[in-house]
């Protein structure tokens, strides 16, 4: 047998450019390919940078609340809550019970619609020609209609205020929410029947984009991505913010950390969110929805700094706020976006996979560019 022939090949550098055919926003990846296999990958972000943190330093505390809507524009309600939580922690404001329940309801509904959209888009990245997306959007539309009925806008809700929420839930809107929660398990069953056992999907997503548990912890990955890799960390259980300790729910954790696991974790989290919603809608007390001691204008916070975080549908969303002596504007305002942090190990997940997998892995990370670039 003669010596094996070594073929000289050149690597090919491709820029999966800012304009994606699939979704996720303006985001670029510089990929170096050896044949079909990814050798190096560099994510390039910043195409949607809108200077959110600097803007907040020039405006009073309440004025950056509408801007937090636009961070992760799928989950405006939970973004609002994270910011309100950070400010309330810093200023020591109490939140009435009804407002806490309302916030939980909104956050879990946000989780439902975000995961529905994320899973739908992941499947359309795999090539299912938008059928799962439109099924997911059918339910998402109802949730967005509910948001519009309560807060006035489908996505840019601007709903939480420091010390409560802006508008109360009426009997009509509560009935709407109950209707949504009743229908949702049926949609999940149909969706699972469509996709979960699908062999093509399993062939496409299993053993693809594996994220080992140690690497996830080291890279401070959070959210469904971390839980799919086996990291048992859910801020709702760890911190117990709001009235979450009162609800009985479980946190699904996966084993392998591949794309299929992340998909399944999101589906299971949707089921758990439905459980929480049922309890919250059952137990919501009557009462005030705003803390009357909080002023809307000329709101001042004593000097200090603090970090408030919640379990947003994408991971740990945190706001680090520093108030100076004047207290009218934030001195420093920093957002810890989950999508940005989760993107940093994109390269490690994609190495050794084929080009077609890169798009699928990116879809499973579930990024929203508004959050990545702020």
Partner 1 sequence: MSAFGKGLLDGLRVTAVNFFGSYFDKGRKERLFTYQYPEERAPIPENSRTFPFLVADDPNDPVGTIRCTACKICEVECPPKCIYIVMDRDEKGKPRQRPKVFDIDLSVCMQCGICVEVCPFESIKMDNDYEKARYGRFNELVEHLPDLLKPNAYYHRIKPTEAAAVDAKLKAEAEKKAAKAAAAAAAKPPPKPAV
Partner 2 sequence: METVYKWLKNLATGAPDWALLGVAMLVAIGFLLAVFPGVFAFITWAERKGLGRIQNRMGPNRVGPVGLFQPIADGLKILTKEDIVPRRADGFVHFLAPVVAVVPALLALVVVPVGAGLVAVNLNIGILFAFAVSTASVLALFMAGWASRNKFSLLGAMRAVAQVVSYEVPTVLSAVVVLMVVGSLSTLDIVESQRGWFGWHVFKPWGAIGFFLFTCGALAEAGRTPFDIPEAESEIVAGYHTEYSGFKFALFQMGEYLASLAMMSIGVTMFLGGYLGPGSGPGVLGTLISMGWFFAKLLAMIAVVIWIRGTWPRLRVDQLLAFAWRFLLPLSLINIVAAGLWHFIPSKPVGWGVSAALLAASCWVLTRLNGRAYIEKRSYRLTS
Which residues in this chain contact partner 2 in the complex, by CB under 8 A?
Answer: 12, 14, 16, 21-22, 31, 36, 123, 125-131, 134-135, 138, 194, 198-204, 206-207, 228, 232-234, 237-238, 249-256, 260-261, 264-265, 268, 272, 354-359
Residue 270 is a binding residue for partner 1 (CB under 8 A) = no
Q: Which is nearer to partner 2, 120 or 370 (CB)?
A: 120
Under the binding rule (CB under 8 A), the answer on residue 160 touching partner 1 is no
Beta-carbon contacts of residue 374 (< 8 Å; ≥ 6 apart): 49, 50, 51, 52, 53, 71, 335, 337
Contact 112, 184 (CB under 8 A): yes
CB closer to partner 2 out of 130 and 302: 130
From the list 44-52, 56-64, 243-251, 359-367, the region that binds partner 1 by CB under 8 A is: 56-64
- Count residues binding partner 1 (CB under 8 A): 38
Given 76, 78, 110, 158, the residue binding partner 1 (CB under 8 A): 158
Helix (H, G, I), strand (E, B) or coil at 328: coil
Nearer to partner 1, 42 or 138 (CB): 138
Residue 66 binding target from partner 2, partner 1, none, CB below 5 to 8 Å by type: partner 1
How far apart, in whole angstroms, are the C-alpha atoms of residue 255 and residue 133? 26
Q: Which stretch binds partner 1 (CB under 8 A): 38-46, 84-92, 97-105, 191-199?
A: 191-199
CA-CA distance, 304 to 281, in Å (whole number)?
Answer: 36
What distance, in Å, lies between the first and last C-alpha atoms of the chain? 60
Which span sits near partner 1 by CB under 8 A: 35-43, 58-66, 92-100, 222-230?
58-66
Kindly state the tokens that stand for 142.
Answer: 């109802």
Among 42, 49, 138, 207, binds partner 1 (CB under 8 A): 138
| Minimum CB distance to partner 2, residue 182 (Å) | 19
Q: How far apart are CA 99 and CA 284, in angstroms?
A: 9
Q: Which does 152 bind (CB under 5 to 8 A by kind): partner 2, partner 1, none?
A: partner 1
Which region among 4-12, 130-138, 238-246, 279-287 touches partner 1 (by CB under 8 A)? 130-138
Rounded to a whole number of angstroms, the minimum distance from the CB of residue 1 to partner 1 is: 39
Range in contact with partner 1 (rule: CB under 8 A) among 108-116, 197-205, 350-358, 362-370: 197-205
User: How many whole angstroms from its chain centre is CA 40?
Assistant: 27
CA separation for the pair 190, 211 (Å, rounded): 29
Q: Do residues 162 and 88 touch, judged by C-beta distance below 8 A? A: yes
Decide which of partner 2, partner 1, none touches 167; Cβ closer than 5 to 8 Å per partner kind: partner 1
Distance in Å, CB of 346 to partner 2, minimum: 14
Find how far residue 131's CA is from the centre of its chain: 22
The verdict on 279 binding partner 1 (CB under 8 A) reads no
Residues paired with residue 16 on neighbouring β-strands, in sequence order: 29
Contact 209, 357 (CB under 8 A): yes
Cβ atoms 298, 172 nearer than 8 A: no
Of the candidate spans 19-27, 54-62, 219-227, 347-355, the one that interacts with partner 1 by CB under 8 A turns out to be 54-62
Does the footprint of partner 1 cover residue 356 (CB under 8 A)?
A: no
What is the distance between the alpha carbons of residues 208 and 122, in angstroms, rounded to a whole number?
A: 13
Q: Quick one: 50 or 207, whose CB is closer to partner 1?
A: 50
Decide: is 197 part of the binding site for partner 1 (CB under 8 A): yes
Helix (H) / strand (E) containing 14: strand 12-16
Chain centre to alpha carbon of residue 110: 9
Which residues, 6 or more positions from 218, have their beta carbon under 8 angstroms from its beta carbon?
none
* Nearest distance from C-beta of residue 190 to partner 1, angstroms: 6
User: What tokens does 269 get?
Assistant: 């989290």
Pair 100, 71: CB distance under 8 Å: no
Binding site for partner 1 (CB under 8 A): 59-60, 62-67, 69-70, 131, 135, 138, 141, 145, 148-153, 156, 158, 166-167, 190, 193-202, 296-297
């Amino acid at each position: 047998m003669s010596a094996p022939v070594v073929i000289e090949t050149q690597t090919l550098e491709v820029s999966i450019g800012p304009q994606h055919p699939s979704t996720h926003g303006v985001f670029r990846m510089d990929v170096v390919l050896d044949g079909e296999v990814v050798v190096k990958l560099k994510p390039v972000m910043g195409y949607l940078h809108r200077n959110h943190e600097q803007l907040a330093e020039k405006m009073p505390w309440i004025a950056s609340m509408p801007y937090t809507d636009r961070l992760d524009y799928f989950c405006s309600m939970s973004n609002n809550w994270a910011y309100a939580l950070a400010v309330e922690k810093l200023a020591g404001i109490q939140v009435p019970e009804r407002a806490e329940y309302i916030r939980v309801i909104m956050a879990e509904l946000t989780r439902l619609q975000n995961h529905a959209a994320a899973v739908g888009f992941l499947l359309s990245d795999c090539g299912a020609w938008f059928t799962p997306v439109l099924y997911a959007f059918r339910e998402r539309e109802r949730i967005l209609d509910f948001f519009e009925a309560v807060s006035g806008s489908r996505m840019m809700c601007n709903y939480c205020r420091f010390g409560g929420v802006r508008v109360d839930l009426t009997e009509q809107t509560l009935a709407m929410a109950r209707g949504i929660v009743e229908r949702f398990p049926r949609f999940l069953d149909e969706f699972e029947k469509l996709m979960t056992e699908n062999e093509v999907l399993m062939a496409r997503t299993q053993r693809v984009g594996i994220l080992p548990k140690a690497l996830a912890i080291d890279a401070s990955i959070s959210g469904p991505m971390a839980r799919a890799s086996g990291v048992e960390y859910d801020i709702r259980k760890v911190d117990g913010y709001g009235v979450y300790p009162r609800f009985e729910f479980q946190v699904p954790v996966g084993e392998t950390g591949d794309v299929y696991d992340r998909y399944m974790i999101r589906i299971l989290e949707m089921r758990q969110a439905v459980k929480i919603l049922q309890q919250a809608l059952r137990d919501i007390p009557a009462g005030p929805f705003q803390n009357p001691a909080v002023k809307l204008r000329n709101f001042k916070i004593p000097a200090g700094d603090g970090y408030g975080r919640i379990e947003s549908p994408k991971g740990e969303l945190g706001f680090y706020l520093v108030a100076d002596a004047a207290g009218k504007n934030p001195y420093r305002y920093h957002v810890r976006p989950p999508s940005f942090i989760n993107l940093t190990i994109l390269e490690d997940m994609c190495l050794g996979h084929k080009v077609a997998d890169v798009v699928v892995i990116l879809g499973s990370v579930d990024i929203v560019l508004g959050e990545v670039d702020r």
